Every structure is written in structure tokens, then in C-alpha cells.
């Protein structure tokens, strides 16, 4: 474990806030933004002191603080005024710092990075190459531009302002600078940097192909076991959703699309009214990941939740996306939104605790459905069809999760000493 992570997790609240404020300065937040975070964190410290909470940060304390001040970011913007408007995000940032020992800007656009002047045109040329020759999806291009921009920003900090100055040592140090990320994230960022370096060589910006100088980051496909929910915990999550409130009606339908139909987060977010055939009781989409068509049955449970949301919550609007934000301006979720705050909100209210650390976002609900189908002896081919897998090998990974679940159950059974029968 990164020593900064373990150290941050043990900090008292006042020292944690001090460290988070220092991180804001390192990331060059403007003074106004820093004062905004400082105001929220100061009020949070006072609240903790009033309750004689002197230990490390705990999530239930954040939930209690927001409830105490009647802060609900899902309500119209005029309800949460002043410091309350940014309270939840400020505390989320503090939680990230306590958990990981650092945080970064959520939206780090290329235009905010320090890209040397001599390299800026190549960045635009690379974007055109991705669009017109590689036919990458817009959201993938955004990711590529962000990562390449960060790579060039790293070089500029080392006073590398021209492509001819890039050395193998620079590339090795770039990979080392990513060491606090998970291996999968590092592998992705290094891969994008490698593609960009190849582009520079083939377009004559580099006299030699430096992509081979980037150290390899091995991340075997299907090396990890998918995170799945226990059936009891999933039932507890869905039961906790307040289906009387506008937020609950919307979020319940969102959760069911992942937990019962196994839709990916992107496909849920982009689901349109035109893709729901009420007469045929089906949902038909073109999957964002593969572009392949997928048709799923609209079950009574999912259909009822959708109708409840559409009839009582969703306003009349020109948008065709099914799910919209509740806080004005009313519009669809951003392409980068993973909907994590939705599942974490109800999970925390339900007081759910996992036996061991695991991923617990929307995609874990998809994993859970696949594992449940496997345990019900549904054929792999049918599971692949339900999940929209282009290859059976993608489905086979869930056999790992099923076996691992059985292993955990076995480990929880206390050993019984052999008793000699008389």
C-alpha cells in the first residue's frame, strides 16, 4: 500500500483538513475555490467537535452532517444556497483524500494543462487522426486527448518543450509518476501515451519510435475477479430506496436496469424513450461498448419502476433520454457520469458493509446478475446474450466470481474437530 494512503487514513479530522487544503494549493485551485472548501470543512469540524468525534473520518459522520443541515443536492438549486451548494462535493473530496491520500481535479481539460507551444498543433492533429482515420468514439477521443494532454504537461514540467528533447528517461519517469494509480489505470494511460508516440514517429515529429521505450505494464485480461453483491445486501439496497420521493423513483428504475437486466452504465445513461417498446415489452439498444444490437425483455418489475418514474417525476422536455437530472437545469447525465453517487447514496443510507473491500458501483450490479444466472445453471451462451458479450470468453470470467463466492462461504464455516465415534 502507498504509505501516503495508510497515513491519511489514520489522520485526525483537523490534520486531514489541513492536508486536503494543502493538496488544493498543490493543484493550483484559485483562492475563491479554496475558501469555499475551507468554509465547508470548518463547519464540518465544528459539527464533529460538538459530537465529541475526535477519531479519523467516517462516512456516517458525513451523512449525519448533511442531514443535520438539510442538504440534498438533488433538490432544486435555490434550496441549497451559499456554502450548502457545494457541501456534498467538498466532503466527497475530503473523503477521497482520507481514503487515497490524494485527489485530483475531476475535470482536467486539455486547455487547462500546460502544453508547450511547439507541441500544441500535434495535439490537434492527433485528435483529427483519431476521428478520421481510427474512427474512435467521441467519448474515447475525449479520454485520449485528456491523457495525452496530461502526458505533455508532465514533459513541460521537466522543461521538455520540443519533441526532439524527449528521452527514454522522461518516459520512464512518466510511468513512475503514475505509481499511485491502480495497475489497470496505469496500463491504460501508458497505452495511450504509446499510441501518441507512434503517431509522432509516423508523422515525422520524432526521428525515432520512442514508444518501445515506455516500460510495459502487464494487466492480463480477466485477471481480476468481478465484484458481486450478496443477494441479501442487494435486496437491502433496493429495499432502502425511498420510492415515494422523486429521487427514489428515478434511482430505483436506474438500479433495476443494472441489477435485473444487466445493462452497462453508459447504456442506462443513454437509454431513450424510443428504445422502449411498451407493446412488445422489450428494450432494444445499440450497445455503446461494442456497437452491437441488444434486445432485452421488459419485465414487470422493471417496467413498473420505469412507468412510476416517467409518470410522476420526469418532466415534459425535448430530451429523448429517459433519465434526467433532478436539479435544474434539467438535462441528461453527462457522458462522463458513472452514476456512482446514486448507488453510494442509498448504500450508505442502508448501512451496507461488505465482508471485504470490493467495487460497488453500477457495474458491480451487472456482475452480480451474471453470477446469479450462472449459479441458477443458466447456460453461458444465454448469459452472453443477456449481457451483450461479443465473445464467450468475456462471460467465462464470471465462473471465477461464482467459485470465489463458494470459497468465501467455506472459509466462514468454523472448522470442526473430528470426534471419534463411540
Domain membership of residue 186 (yes or no) is yes
316 and 364 co-located in one domain: yes
Which candidate in 189, 205, 363, 367 is catalytic?
A: 363
pLDDT of residue 416: 34
Let me know if 345 is a catalytic residue: no
Question: 296 pLDDT exceeds 60?
Answer: yes
61 and 148 co-located in one domain: no
Cβ neighbors of 420 (< 8 A, separation 6 or more) are: none
Query: b/e string for 235-268 if b means 16 or more Cβ within 10 A?
Result: ebbbebbebeeebbbbbbbbbbbbbbbbbbbbbb
391 and 244 co-located in one domain: yes
At 5, the pLDDT band (50, 70, 90 cuts) reads: very low
Q: Which domain holds residue 85?
A: 3-100
pLDDT of residue 313: 95
Domain membership of residue 223 (yes or no) is no
367 and 341 co-located in one domain: yes
Grid cell 440534498 — which residue? 72
Of 183-192, 210-219, 267-276, which one has max mean pLDDT? 267-276
Q: Span 394-402, mean pLDDT? A: 50
Model pLDDT for residues 68-78, shown as the tens digit of each residue: 888 865 554 44
pLDDT of residue 72: 67
260 and 360 co-located in one domain: yes
Question: 326 pLDDT exceeds 80?
Answer: yes
Question: 26 pLDDT exceeds 90?
Answer: no
Question: 220 pLDDT exceeds 70?
Answer: no
Domain membership of residue 69 (yes or no) is yes
Domain membership of residue 222 (yes or no) is no
Question: 361 pLDDT exceeds 80?
Answer: yes
Domain membership of residue 12 (yes or no) is yes
Let me know if 289 is a catalytic residue: yes
Distances (CA, A) of 263 to 158, 254, 388: 44, 10, 9
pTM attached to this predicted model: 0.52
Domain membership of residue 55 (yes or no) is yes
* Geometric angle at alpha carbon 166, from 160 and 169, rounded to 5°: 105
* Geometric angle at alpha carbon 48, from 43 and 52, rounded to 5°: 145
**Residue 94 has which C-alpha cell?**
475530503
What is the rounded CA–CA span in Å between residue 165 and residue 150? 17
Of 161-175, 306-320, 366-380, 400-414, which one has max mean pLDDT? 306-320
Domain end, chosen from 49, 77, 100, is at 100
Q: Which one is predicted more confidently, 376 or 6? A: 376
* Geometric angle at alpha carbon 64, from 62 and 69, rounded to 5°: 100
268 and 391 co-located in one domain: yes
Q: Which of 422, 364, 357 is nearest to 398 (CA)?
A: 364
- Give me the DSSP letters along 305-318: HHHHHHHHTPPP-S
Q: Span 332-341, mean pLDDT? A: 88
54 and 199 co-located in one domain: no
Question: 353 pLDDT exceeds 60?
Answer: yes
Question: 404 pLDDT exceeds 70?
Answer: no
What is the rounded CA–CA span in Å between residue 191 and residue 142? 15
Q: Which one is predicted more confidently, 221 or 5? A: 221
The helix/strand/coil state of 207 is coil
pLDDT of residue 75: 52
First-to-last CA distance in the chain?
52
Model pLDDT for residues 6-25, shown as the tens digit of each residue: 455 567 888 888 888 888 88
Which candidate in 180, 222, 289, 359 is catalytic?
A: 289
**Residue 293 has which C-alpha cell?**
444490437
Let me know if 264 is a catalytic residue: yes
Q: What is the average pLDDT score of the chain?
A: 80
Domain end, chosen from 184, 213, 242, is at 213
Helix axes 13-26 and 31-50, enclosed angle (nearest 10)? 170
372 and 264 co-located in one domain: yes
What percentage of the chain carries pLDDT values higher than 90?
35
- Tell me whether residue 169 is exposed, middle or buried, using C-beta atoms within 10 angstroms of its C-beta: 0 to 12, 13 to 18, 19 or more: exposed
Lowest mean pLDDT among 159-163, 304-308, 383-387, 406-410: 406-410
245 and 393 co-located in one domain: yes
Lowest mean pLDDT among 220-224, 246-250, 309-313, 418-422: 418-422
257 and 386 co-located in one domain: yes
Q: Could you give the number of structural domains in the chain?
A: 3
Domain membership of residue 127 (yes or no) is yes
Q: Which of 115, 11, 99, 19 is nearest to 55 (CA)?
A: 11
- Give me the DSSP letters along 173-194: HHHHTTTTS-HHHHHHHHHHHH
Let me know if 363 is a catalytic residue: yes
* Geometric angle at alpha carbon 49, from 45 and 50, rounded to 5°: 120
Grid cell 450490479 — which residue? 365
**Residue 85 has which C-alpha cell?**
451548494
pLDDT of residue 302: 95
245 and 161 co-located in one domain: no
Hey, what's the torsion of the CAs at 248, 250, 256, 259, to 10 degrees?
-80
For residues 342 and 242, the answer to whether their CB atoms sit within 8 Å is: no
Domain end, chosen from 73, 100, 127, is at 100
Q: Domain containing 39 — which CATH number?
A: 1.10.150
Model pLDDT for residues 127-166, shown as the tens digit of each residue: 999 988 888 877 788 889 989 998 998 898 889 999 999 9
At 1, the pLDDT band (50, 70, 90 cuts) reads: very low
Q: What are phi and psi of 313, to 5 degrees?
A: -125, -50
Domain membership of residue 203 (yes or no) is yes
- Give me the DSSP letters along 64-107: HHHHHTT--TTS-TTTS-GGGGGHHHHHHHHHHHHHHS----S-
Q: Domain containing 267 — which CATH number?
A: 1.10.443.10
Q: Which of 92, 85, 89, 90 is nearest to 37 (CA)?
A: 90
Which candidate in 264, 269, 347, 367 is catalytic?
A: 264
209 and 239 co-located in one domain: no
Amino acid at each position: 500500500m502507498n504509505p501516503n494512503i495508510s497515513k491519511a487514513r489514520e489522520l485526525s479530522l483537523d490534520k486531514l483538513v489541513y492536508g486536503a487544503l494543502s493538496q488544493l494549493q498543490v493543484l493550483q485551485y484559485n483562492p475563491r475555490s479554496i475558501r469555499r472548501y475551507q468554509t465547508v470543512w470548518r463547519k464540518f469540524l465544528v459539527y464533529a467537535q460538538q459530537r465529541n468525534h475526535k477519531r479519523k473520518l467516517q462516512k456516517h459522520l458525513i451523512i449525519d452532517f448533511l442531514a443535520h443541515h438539510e442538504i440534498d443536492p438533488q433538490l432544486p438549486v435555490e434550496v441549497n444556497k451559499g456554502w450548502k451548494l457545494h457541501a456534498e462535493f467538498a466532503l466527497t473530496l475530503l473523503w477521497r483524500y482520507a481514503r487515497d491520500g490524494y485527489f485530483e481535479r475531476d475535470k482536467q481539460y486539455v486547455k487547462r494543462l500546460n502544453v508547450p507551444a511547439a507541441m500544441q498543433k500535434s495535439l490537434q492533429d492527433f485528435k483529427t487522426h483519431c476521428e478520421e482515420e481510427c474512427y474512435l468514439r467521441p467519448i474515447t477521443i475525449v479520454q485520449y486527448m485528456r491523457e495525452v494532454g496530461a502526458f505533455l504537461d508532465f514533459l513541460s514540467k521537466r522543461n521538455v518543450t520540443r519533441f526532439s528533447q524527449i528521452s527514454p528517461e522522461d518516459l520512464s519517469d512518466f510511468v513512475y509518476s503514475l505509481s499511485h494509480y491502480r495497475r489497470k489505470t496505469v496500463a491504460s494511460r501508458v497505452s495511450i501515451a504509446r499510441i501518441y508516440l507512434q503517431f509522432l514517429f509516423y508523422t515525422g515529429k520524432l526521428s525515432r519510435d520512442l514508444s518501445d521505450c515506455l516500460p510495459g505494464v502487464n494487466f492480463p485480461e480477466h485477471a481480476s475477479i468481478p465484484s458481486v453483491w450478496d443477494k441479501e445486501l442487494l435486496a437491502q439496497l433496493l429495499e432502502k430506496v425511498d420510492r415515494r420521493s422523486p429521487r427514489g423513483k428515478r434511482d430505483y428504475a436506474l438500479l433495476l436496469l443494472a441489477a435485473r437486466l444487466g445493462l452497462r452504465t453508459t447504456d442506462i445513461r443513454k437509454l431513450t424513450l424510443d428504445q422502449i417498446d411498451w407493446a412488445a415489452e422489450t428494450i432494444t439498444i445499440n450497445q455503446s461498448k461494442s456497437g452491437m444490437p441488444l434486445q432485452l425483455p421488459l419485465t414487470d418489475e422493471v417496467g413498473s419502476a420505469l412507468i412510476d418514474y416517467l409518470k410522476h417525476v420526469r418532466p415534459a422536455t425535448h430530451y429523448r433520454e429517459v433519465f434526467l437530472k433532478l436539479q435544474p437545469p434539467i438535462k441528461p447525465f453527462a457522458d462522463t457520469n458513472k452514476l456512482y453517487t446514486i448507488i453510494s447514496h442509498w448504500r450508505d443510507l442502508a448501512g451496507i458493509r461488505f465482508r471485504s473491500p470490493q467495487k460497488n458501483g453500477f457495474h458491480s450490479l451487472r456482475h452480480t446478475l451474471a453470477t446469479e444466472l450462472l449459479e441458477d445453471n443458466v447456460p453461458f451462451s444465454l448469459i452472453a446474450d443477456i449481457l451483450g458479450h461479443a465473445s464467450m470468453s468475456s462471460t467465462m470470467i464470471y465462473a471465477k466470481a461464482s467459485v470465489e463466492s463458494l470459497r468465501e462461504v467455506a472459509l466462514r464455516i468454523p472448522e470442526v474437530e473430528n470426534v471419534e465415534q463411540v
